[in-house]
């Protein structure tokens, strides 16, 4: 047992993403440097400033969710249930033989059922209040990803949702770590889910001037740390990991992907959308994660960057990394997989925790694609354009959200 309580390991992963709807397909495309961006197909975006996104393709709930149940779930909830099923299956856990009271679900979502909200608002406007669906509220509310995963798989442990914009998924994983350490659960499905490629969401982000407008070349639009970046590319999907106490995992002889050993969180107390210019909030989150993990800065070999491809955010994250790691920052690989997946908002931290766990387990560092003209302010090793084989032993995953929410997760190779 560590000084902080029980050791916690990642034993399973589940993915629904713009690069594939199972982990192996997702990982293959990620390592190949494939972009998930393309023209928006979920609605007519011809009049929008930004007309492209990283959509989930060929998604189906067949064989996973009963058709009647699926119709009563928003898209973000469906993503969560499908990803959670894969995570459980990949962990090799037989839930029927487990104490379900000890298995929890903590899933984040920054926005929740935006698609359902917009659809039911149209019903209200066009057909009146009596025609609004009785399932409107339980389909829309952000906690229902965690709630439905619990219901679908009969998991009766701690169950809740974290909502902290683009830090939601990472907050969920960090809080799950604390629950297992404290003995409140033996196993938790943790991560995030989001489905906000909708007219209102795209219009809102466009009005805030946060989205890329590279409509003529979507695959090259998300370009973190590049001089020509002009905003993020909105994405959708879910990333879920199975977290287990060491005792539980070893008792059932589970395959250990990596150890989740540190969680740091902080607030900027600065601005509703912009990060603090000195990167202090992000730096405090990273430092706290390393302290929680009892990892010296020199133990970090890889950082999965928040790296959204916005003009302001990318160099601030670089500043924060340099603040925490000092000269060692020059020797650390740091890639933004949002260059391929787009920004999954509240699901980003979940999906990127999957990426970090697989990087540790498989010894391959995913690239930052579209890095053609490095920004002089962003002068670290961003693994440009091509994956790199390297036996990573220690890593961080960063997630920062509107409102000044900062989360860093520390992971290390399983031992």
Same domain, 227 and 349: no
Same domain, 71 and 127: yes
> Which residues form the domain of 355?
262-413
- Residue that finishes a domain, picked among 251, 274, 297: 251
| Catalytic-labelled residue, pool 54, 161, 166, 261 | 166
Same domain, 42 and 93: yes
Q: Which pLDDT score is estimated for 2?
A: 52
Same domain, 205 and 335: no
Distance CA 185, CA 208 (A): 41
Number of residues that this document lists for the chain = 415
| Whether 54 is catalytic | no
- Bridge-partner residues for 193, per DSSP? 238
Distance CA 409, CA 167 (A): 11
Same domain, 86 and 208: yes
Domain with 149 in it: what CATH number?
3.40.47.10
* Tokens standing for residue 28: 């293959």
Contact 184, 163 (CB under 8 A): no
Taking alpha carbons only, the member of 286, 304, 299, 329 closest to residue 394 is: 299
Q: Is residue 397 part of a domain?
A: yes
Contact 277, 190 (CB under 8 A): no
Q: Which pLDDT score is estimated for 16?
A: 98
For every residue of 34-58, DSSP letters joined together read: ----EE--SS--TTSS--EEB---S
Contact 16, 83 (CB under 8 A): yes
Distance CA 374, CA 383 (A): 12
User: How many domains, in total, are found in the chain?
Assistant: 2
126 sits in which H/E element = helix 114-127
Same domain, 25 and 48: yes
Same domain, 270 and 236: no
Distance CA 78, CA 340 (A): 22
Q: Which pLDDT score is estimated for 5?
A: 82
Grouping H, G, I as helix, E, B as strand and the rest as coil, residue 413 is: strand
Q: Which pLDDT score is estimated for 165?
A: 98
Q: Which pLDDT score is estimated for 3?
A: 65
Helices (H), 313-375: 313-325, 338-341, 348-362
Q: Supply φ then ψ for residue 375, to 5 degrees.
A: -70, 125
Give the residues of the chain that fall short of pLDDT 50.
1
């Amino acid at each position: 047992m560590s000084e902080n309580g029980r050791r916690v390991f990642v034993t399973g992963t589940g993915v629904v993403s713009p690069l594939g709807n199972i982990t192996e397909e997702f990982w293959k495309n990620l390592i190949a440097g494939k972009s998930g961006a393309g023209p928006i197909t979920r609605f007519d975006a011809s009049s929008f400033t930004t007309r492209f996104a990283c959509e989930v393709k060929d998604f189906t709930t067949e064989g996973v969710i009963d058709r009647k149940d699926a119709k009563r779930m928003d898209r973000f909830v469906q993503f969560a249930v499908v990803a959670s099923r894969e995570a459980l299956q990949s962990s090799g856990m037989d839930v029927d033989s487990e104490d379900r009271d000890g298995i929890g679900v903590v899933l984040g979502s920054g926005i929740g059922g935006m698609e359902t909200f917009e659809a039911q608002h149209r019903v209200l406007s066009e057909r009146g209040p009596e025609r609004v669906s009785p399932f409107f509220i339980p389909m829309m509310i952000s906690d229902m990803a965690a709630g439905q995963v619990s219901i679908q798989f009969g998991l009766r442990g701690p169950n809740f949702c974290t909502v902290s914009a683009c830090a939601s998924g990472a907050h969920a994983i960090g809080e799950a770590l604390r629950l297992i350490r404290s003995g409140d659960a033996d196993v938790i499905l943790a991560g995030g889910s989001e489905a906000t490629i909708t007219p209102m969401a795209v219009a809102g982000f466009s009005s805030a001037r946060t989205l890329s407008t590279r409509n003529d070349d979507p695959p090259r639009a998300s370009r973190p740390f590049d001089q020509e970046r002009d905003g993020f590319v909105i994405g959708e999907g879910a990333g879920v990991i199975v977290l287990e106490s060491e005792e539980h995992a070893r008792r059932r002889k589970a395959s250990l992907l990596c150890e989740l050993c540190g969680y740091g969180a902080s607030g900027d107390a600065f601005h509703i959308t912009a990060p603090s210019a000195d990167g202090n909030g992000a730096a405090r989150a990273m430092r706290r994660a390393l302290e929680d993990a009892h990892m010296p800065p020199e133990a970090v070999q890889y950082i999965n960057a928040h790296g959204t491809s916005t003009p302001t955010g990318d160099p601030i994250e670089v500043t924060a990394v340099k603040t925490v790691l000092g000269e060692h920052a020059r020797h650390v690989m740091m890639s933004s997989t949002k260059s391929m997946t787009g920004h999954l908002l509240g699901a980003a931290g979940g999906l990127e925790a999957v990426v970090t766990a697989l990087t540790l387990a498989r010894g391959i560092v995913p690239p930052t694609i579209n890095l053609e003209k490095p920004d002089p302010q962003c002068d670290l090793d961003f693994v440009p354009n091509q994956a790199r084989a390297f036996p990573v032993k220690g890593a961080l995953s960063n997630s920062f959200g509107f409102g000044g929410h900062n989360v860093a997760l520390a992971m290390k190779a399983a031992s």
